[in-house]
Amino acid sequence: MTRGHGPTVRRRRLAGELRRLRENAQLTIDEVGEKLECSASKISRIETGHVGVTPRDARDLLELYGVHGEDQEALVQLAREARKRGWWHAYNEVFTGAFVGLEADASSLRAFQALLVPGLLQTERYAHAVIRAMRPGADDSEIERRVAARMARQRLLRDPHPPEYWAVVDEAVLHRVVGGPSVMAEQLSHLADACRLPHVTVQVVPFGAGAHPGMEGPFLILGFPERADQDVVYVDSTSSGLYLEMESDVRRYSLMFDHLRAAALKPDDSVEVIVGAARRFDSENATVSDAE
């Protein structure tokens, strides 16, 4: 699928267009709900993209807003396409928000991580150790399901038309022992290999850089190929995620990312540091194995 043409982005695009048309019609959300005999909260959820809109509801809204003919039909078709299911619906108990759908349609991804290897670059064993640590009360089946979902996400970077992926990680990521020396050696070797892909860039912010903008926490900036689809900043947490779409917020995080890239080692130097860390863990693993 071409970048930016998935159901999540289409729903987001339709939501923004319906909001714009309502405002042009000089109608409030309450007035629309009253005229269509539905709740104002439903209209609000449609306009924020939290729920999909049926083709029939889209047509009713457009009639109310005075949109007819080809313009109406184009938006009703957009509503139909926005209701299609993406591959991630097979993991709907894992992916509860719009994040994966937006990620799947992005043409560029700019990520910062201070503690962990970014999810799209994790090995299966590393991901298992991370998810197990973050969900100590989960049973084995839930952990395995979440690991499988994360591995499925990674197909994005092997897509025939992959997004441009640029990750900046703190040097702490290369030292934090997740899953033991064997897991870390494998993970860092995998990370170094990923850097050789033409659409993947990884940089390391060294300890010597001191304080930097990423100390506030991890974030991801998602860019889309269509001008109608504005960039989104996703700020992650263990239980939920925050989406920032205001131009001022996106600009602020973009500036933060630029500062992080400037503070980080150059990409080639970063690969050398990652390879060196992988060798160190490989040696530690060999020492442990000899001792056993």
Alpha-carbon distances, residue 8 vs 57, 79, 83, 213 (angstroms) = 18, 11, 9, 30
CATH H-level superfamily of 7-84? lambda repressor-like DNA-binding domains (1.10.260.40)
Range 89-291: architecture per CATH: 2-Layer Sandwich (3.30)
Alpha-carbon span 89 to 92, nearest angstrom: 5
Note the pLDDT tens digit of each residue in 48-59: 877 778 889 899
Question: For the stretch 237-258, what's the b/e string if a residue is b when 16 or more beta carbons lie within 10 angstroms of its beta carbon?
Answer: eeeeeebbeeeebbeebeebbe
Note the pLDDT tens digit of each residue in 16-42: 889 888 999 999 999 988 988 889 898
Structure confidence at residue 1 as a pLDDT band (50, 70, 90):
very low
Whole-prediction pTM value? 0.79
Q: What is the pLDDT of residue 200?
A: 97
Note the pLDDT tens digit of each residue in 133-151: 999 999 999 999 999 999 9
Q: 94 with 154: CB under 8 angstroms?
A: no
Note the pLDDT tens digit of each residue in 112-136: 999 999 999 999 999 999 999 999 9
Q: What is the pLDDT of residue 50?
A: 73
Rounded mean pLDDT, 214-241: 83
- Residue-range domain boundaries for the chain: 7-84, 89-291
Q: What is the pLDDT of residue 290?
A: 54
Q: In what order do the strands lie in the sheet with 232-236?
A: 200-205, 164-170, 108-113, 219-223, 232-236, 241-244
Rounded mean pLDDT, 177-193: 97
Q: 18 with 233: CB under 8 angstroms?
A: no
